Amino acid sequence: VAHKEVQEVKAHSEVKETEAKKAMDEAMKKMEEERAAMVTHHQKELQAEKEAKEAAEKKAHDDKHQLIQEHQKAIQEFEEAKDISDKKLGREIADLKASLEKANEDHKKELEETLAQGKRTELALKLEAKGTAERL
């Protein structure tokens, strides 16, 4: 009878050991799954941070490029406006110069005409004086 009890205890012990081993294997499997889930979650967070950083860098680069283009466009528009202004000013100067030259020429003609008229008047007065002197 004792031998039978020993065998029953031994069999019961083996069942308990197998159950404990099975429970331990399941616990280890669950811990490994949780660890893998944590690693996956951490990798996803790292990837999201990396993508956010890359997006911010790309936006900063694009913004910088846009500002450079806007600056270059403003410089070009300024240069074009300056060229137009310079040409307009050049035309105004040329017009004023031509106007001044014409005024000088007109004034010169007037002076020449006045001088010629004065000489004719002087000659007429001399002739009149000579005629008056001859009559006397």
pTM to 2 decimals? 0.47
Tokens representing 32 are: 């490994």
* C-alpha torsion angle, residues 66, 69, 71, 76 (rounded to 10): -160
Nearest alpha carbon to residue 108 among 119, 116, 93, 124: 116
Question: What distance in Å separates the CA atoms of residue 117 and residue 111, rounded to the nearest whole number?
Answer: 10
pLDDT tens per residue, range 93-122: 999 999 999 999 999 999 999 999 999 999
pLDDT tens per residue, range 33-55: 999 999 999 999 999 999 999 99
Cα distances (angstroms) measured from residue 9 to each of 19, 24, 82, 95, 98: 15, 22, 108, 127, 131
